[in-house]
Structure 1
């Protein structure tokens, strides 16, 4: 019995509505059956039931498109909004019967115009196919109730609604679908989801494809419908049975009038598409979108030959269980005898059933058992006279292959091989360029007491995909943190190398504790030696957790965006100095006083500027996105503070999510970007007042003794008795040096954070240096002693003097006494919360 005769009435309606929706790129479809003077809704596809309640029963004399189509026995298209969001019109065709129309098939269209003549013809053919198979109306008294899964996502790609069927098909039983990023949460287990979703939103048109659900591995029809207003996407999933697949393909071919005459047209389209393919993934996508539908195939494997191994580089239409069996590599090649045979002979192999496959390759029974397919084409990929891989096109049902199809596949394999060879060469060069980019950018941002940060770098969507955008987070003395972001105009290896030189220079200059304006002065001199064609922007900022100030200078770069804990977002309106290499120093120094636990958002112009959006529009969208994300996801937590390590991990996770959200909102389709993009988001924390102690000292030799006394008392308050002796020696030597070689005013400051910081300020600009003292010298060993006792030490210069600083490691806290939450006696009485160490 033909497969399409096995369809139930319910399956027939579902199939017809789904095909009608797909053929006109609609939002959904409905079927009405005539009963006396009324039309009753008997099936719905792709639409929520609540949105079509008004269509449940229509009077035959009404002016609705289904009623008009039945009355006039003709095609009807009516423009105008319906109850369904995003619909621009309704196309309806009558269901023909022996005594006149017996009902109507209607499609809600997404485009501003109605279906074209070819689409109208296809709708009439589908209507006739449905009516011929629905002999009576006895089973059509109520709308079709076959379950269809529905979930919706917002403009940040997070799932905002999922019905029970969606939870069953896509959920993993551990985490809910709602709230997760579509392809990073449980729903990401649906194969091939991200690309079609991004394409549907970017093009503003519905997209359909077939996929196996992760819950039961059944084949489902997936339909993606973008919202016309406000962003977002609706995703419909409905099961496709084997008879429905066969009927679907047969009806589509019949209605579209496919025949041998159209094959050259499709070949020219495939050739043009393969010529534009850049990467191996692009090649696979061309075959998936243009070759598989033409052959009525539903499976694809593209494997590359590396010595005697097969590497899987593309897979379509197979469940994860089969991919796990195949693996990303097969060794030796004999593990796949069919592929080995076609690579050895250089000719395609057509296998029309699983029985034939087992007869030809009995040792590969494990592959046949794991595969859901029942017919295959094994096409060798030969370029430059040598085999480079194999393309396997497969079919769910057994089938035969005619001479025309065999010739077509032979021609396609040659085109595919040439395109894949070009793509593999590109992939190798691209991988090398990306490796260079990774080596030049920070592999991981430091976890600092005053700043937690997350960053993203997205190369331009075309070309070598490397460029000159960079970012960095650099720890300075006294828990201060430097943050830098820059942009070397252009893309390619040369720009990336220039970026690497500049990042190294910034790190070197930052170690000298320079102010932002002074650092850009020296960086500008370096840039001037790179040539007149270099256009480089840069922002260098320093955050001081004691004063909660962020000082920064701009060289042609946009200022940071500041997000307060209450969700307020502001971007200082500042006139940036010219870019590096073109600027005339001095650079302006700007200061921002930040609320406790603010966010600083640094970015390059690729994030906010594009050919379709100017920088002001992009900046406004960035601020809206940040405000919405902070208030909606409660980025700043209100819960009581827990252990510092756990809070720090939570903060980093929130920063990572915020980076992803910003990128998704401003660059929804990263492959289409024309400029590199760098994004750095920093969460700032101030030093608690109880962790700061400061004293003014007299310009007198007694100052060293007073400094020791002050340090002794403060360390006792902090419970740092283990650091007492070392700290007394350090402050005594530093203050003594000021008395001997510097001038007042003198000030001592101690900071408790991830380390113990000792600072001595004076009014002299004399540079301290370690000198080699001989055995007979009575002095000159002070800084040697300081360097030996401290973990780090150095000097930084202020507008009215300098500061000599040291850092000491804090002792590990002793474990608490069993049965008590208090620290053990003699242990360090400082909580992880107050340490803020992470």
Structure 2
């Protein structure tokens, strides 16, 4: 359909629209051009041009030709805008679906989060429960915004989740992630520098001791709000962005109970413009209520009322510590008789905790793991029980060799210890330390009351 001249005085034109006919008469419109906005057969709208007393010369065929050219370009631009908004909405929806649907509830921390998309960066965050009631807090971003960036964000988040399951310290997680990023196409494979690469920060909090370990790949230092309202930055070395084929260092500190840890992207430092945005951010955290949600809300309302230019993500966590009697440790003598002593020690604590029904399985796990230490490892066996929503048994030694779960053949008399222990646990794994390793096994105690 082409634009056409219309005579407003023609009664047939607005016979079915009395209100518009009255408006045209009141405005004394004497000439009109009506032009449909059409792009590739799709009707996008209708354009009407009017001339009244201020322009006594009516429209002519030359005006119609000009209008036809203008609306042709306008229709193309509108279609491009419509497609862009559709793709943008699809990408943002995909990113939201790739983020955690709900943050897991763990004893170690109470968490809250905020996420805002934009046109340059795609941010993400995660809360990952680890063994022995520990928790990993992760926040990062990838360059770009759209379906490609959404896929990159999803793959990077999956890689972090997989590495977290290996129970590695934060600096090693980022080092492995630094190797993975080029394979994902998020950095040049030849190691050359790129202006925009993925960033990430990985934290591990242990509620048994209050220890916090943080490693950063091009990410701002997290804030810690103490129970008395004092806000300090964790002095973490800010390593390069991921994909630079370099190493990372971690910062270690101890948090007081009920401290609030704040991880944030660079977005809050962009708006509002000020001489020292870091100070303003610290003030916002200090003035917030002493909880995760209150701190998150205060930062969002104070710092990001009109944030743009980079993606904005905030992850806050109020830290807790386990009760003193929820963690017990014991170091056994390196001799065969210590296995029986370990079983007796476990039985006493399980009875004191009201977990006598689970005592047999726990004793069996400790017995098999301590026996493996005596046979295949070095150093004295160190046993630790961590009581949370689950019961975690840890047996540490001075060897760095990882255990191998093997299935012994029918005629073999040995080789079933780890398999038996693993069958009694919900899940198990190995965590390496500076002095050796710890084998941990987790048991369900959902049918009992947790202190």
**What is the TM-score of this pair, normalised by structure 1?**
0.45
Match of 2:278 in 1: 619
Q: CA deviation at 1:582?
A: 2.8
- From the superposition, tell whether residues 573 and 774 of structure 1 become closer, same or farther in structure 2 (CA, over 3 Å): closer
Q: Equivalent residue for 1:609?
A: 270
Spell out the pairing of 1:758-837 with structure 2 (5 A cutoff): 758-812=393-447, 828=448, 830=449, 834=451
1:660 and 2:322 matched: no
Alignment check: 8 A CA contact 1:698 1:746 kept: yes
> What is the deviation of 1:623?
0.9
SS state at 2:318 partner = strand
Q: CA deviation at 1:661?
A: 3.3
How much has 1:764 moved relative to structure 2?
Answer: 1.2
Which aligned pairs between 1:68-147 and structure 2 lie closer than 5 A? none
Residue 806 of structure 1 and its aligned partner are, at CA, apart by: 0.7
Shift of 1:752: 1.0
SS state of the match for residue 115, structure 2? strand
Query: Offset at 1:352?
Result: 4.4
- Residues 389 and 527 of structure 1, relative CA distance in 2, 3 Å threshold: closer
1:501 Cα deviation after fit: 2.8
Q: Return the alpha-carbon distance in structure 2 between the equivalents of residues 731 and 784 of structure 1.
A: 13
Q: Does residue 592 in structure 1 map to residue 229 in structure 2?
A: no
Q: In structure 2, which of residues 25, 38, 43 is the aligned counterpart of residue 383 of structure 1?
A: 38
Matches within 5 A, 1:57-76: none
Corresponding residue of 2:5: none
Note if 1:432 corresponds to 2:87. Answer: no
Cα separation, partners in 2 of 1:526 and 1:629, compared to 1, 3 Å:
same
Of the three residues 134, 149, 164, the one matched with 1:480 is 134
Cα distance in structure 2, aligned partners of 1:573 and 1:803? 28
Please say which structure displays the higher CA radius of gyration.
1
Q: Deviations over 1:709-756 (max 9, x none)?
A: 111111111111221111111111111111111122211111111101
**CA distance in structure 2 between the aligned counterparts of 1:385 and 1:552, rounded to whole angstroms:** 55
2:205 aligned residue (530, 539, 543): 543
In the alignment, which residue of structure 2 is the partner of 1:521? 175
Matching residue of 1:629: 288
CA contact (8 A) 2:199 2:241 kept: yes
Q: Indicate if the aligned counterparts of 1:535 and 1:579 stay in contact, CA closer than 8 A.
A: yes
C-alpha deviation, 1:602, in angstroms: 0.5
1-side partners of 2:309 and 2:120: how far apart? 12
Alpha-carbon distance between aligned partners in 1 of 2:206 and 2:99, rounded to the nearest angstrom: 24
Q: Which residue of 2 aligns with 1:557?
A: 219
Which of 86, 102, 105 is the matching residue for 1:447? 105
CA distance in 2, matches of 1:728, 1:438: 45
Contact 2:398 2:436 in 1 (8 A): yes
In the other structure, the counterpart of 1:566 is 228
How far 1:458 moved relative to its partner?
1.0
Distance apart, 1:351 and its partner CA: 3.7
CA offset at residue 451 of structure 1? 1.9
What's 1:719 paired with? 354
| Structural mapping, 1:413-432, within 5 Å | 421-432=79-90
Q: Distance in 2 between matches of 1:607 and 1:349?
A: 57
Aligned twin of 2:125: 471
Give CA deviations for 1:86-128 in whole Å, capped at 9, x if unaligned.
Answer: xxxxxxxxxxxxxxxxxxxxxxxxxxxxxxxxxxxxxxxxxxx
Cα distance in 1 between the residues matched to 2:278 and 2:403: 46
Q: Is the 8 A contact 2:205 2:212 kept in 1?
A: yes
2:8 corresponds to = none
Partner secondary structure for residue 424 of structure 1: helix
| Structure-2 separation of matches of 1:349 and 1:540 | 69
Pairing 1:106-255 to 2, within 5 Å after superposition: none
Q: Give runs of aligned pairs for residues 624-703 of structure 1, distance below 5 A.
A: 624-630=283-289, 635-636=290-291, 655=293, 657-670=294-307, 673-703=308-338
Partner Cα separation in structure 2 for residue 489 and residue 432 of structure 1: 17
Matched-pair contact (CA < 8 Å) for 1:476–1:482: yes
Distance change (3 Å), C-alpha of 1:674 and 1:466: closer
Write the distance in 1 (CA, Å) between the matches of 2:231 and 2:418.
Answer: 46
Shift of 1:658: 3.8
For 1:699 and 1:349, locate their aligned partners in 2 and report how far apart those are by CA, in whole Å.
102
Report deviation, 1:420.
5.2
Q: Distance in 2 between matches of 1:426 and 1:459?
A: 15
SS of alignment partner, residue 629 of structure 1: coil
Residues 1:422 and 1:352: Cα distance change in structure 2 (over 3 Å): farther
Q: Helix, strand or coil: the match of 2:91?
A: helix
Contact residue 437 and residue 466 of structure 1 kept, 8 A: no
Q: CA deviation at 1:382?
A: 4.1
SS of the residue aligned with 1:739? helix
For the residues of structure 2 that align with 1:434 and 1:348, how far apart are their CA atoms? 43
Tell me, yes or no, if the aligned pair for 1:691 and 1:752 is still in contact at 8 Å: yes
* Distance across 2 between alignment mates of 1:739 and 1:504: 37
How far residue 584 of structure 1 moved from its aligned partner, in angstroms, is 3.0
Contact persistence 1:506–1:523 (CA under 8 A): yes
Distance in 2 of aligned mates of 1:542 and 1:607: 23
Deviation of 1:509 (Å)? 1.4
Shift of residue 431, structure 1, vs aligned partner? 2.1
Residue in structure 2 matched with residue 576 of structure 1 by the alignment: 238
Q: Structure 1 residue aligned with 2:161, among 501, 504, 507?
A: 507
2:218–2:241 Cα contact (<8 Å) kept: yes
1:734 paired residue among 359, 369, 372: 369
Matched residue, 1:187: none
Name the CA distance, whole Å, in 1 between partners of 2:357 and 2:104.
27
**Rounded Cα–Cα distance in structure 2 between residues aligned with 1:759 and 1:606:** 41
Contact 1:466-1:496 at 8 Å conserved across structures? no
When the two chains are superposed, the root-mean-square deviation of aligned CA atoms in Å is 3.4
Alignment of 1:328-407 (within 5 A): 351-352=17-18, 382-384=37-39, 388=43, 404=52
Q: SS in structure 2 opposite 1:519?
A: helix
